[in-house]
Amino acid sequence: MKGFRYGSTQGAFYILPGEDGWAATYGNETLGEFSSPQQAADEVARGLSLNCPHLSETDTSMLDVPEQLSDWEIVHV
């Protein structure tokens, strides 16, 4: 099974298979569940709909997280 990783200056973001689709995570926090890995990448890049006390919308949108999954590293889980 594969997932995706993006290493930002503030830490690594992951998009991994979840219970109800795909989970975006940062550290030990789940940022949200999404229907596709592309939707998760879009949301993390824009800083939208994220549910993490360690990050604010401004933080994630300022980290240059790529919206395109091809710019994320593939990880095997």
- pLDDT tens-digit profile of 26-73? 888 888 899 999 999 998 888 765 556 556 554 566 778 899 999 999
In this structure, the strands spanning 21-26 and 11-18 are: antiparallel
Q: How confident is the model at residue 16 (pLDDT cuts 50, 70, 90)?
A: very high
Quote the pTM value: 0.84
SS3 at position 2: strand
Q: How far apart are CA 38 and CA 16, in angstroms?
A: 11
Structural domain that includes position 31: 2-76
Give backbone dihedrals phi and psi of 58, rounded to 5 degrees, phi first. Answer: -60, -40
pLDDT value at residue 49:
53
Angle CA 70–59–77, to nearest 5: 40
Look at the chain and report how many structural domains it folds into.
Answer: 1
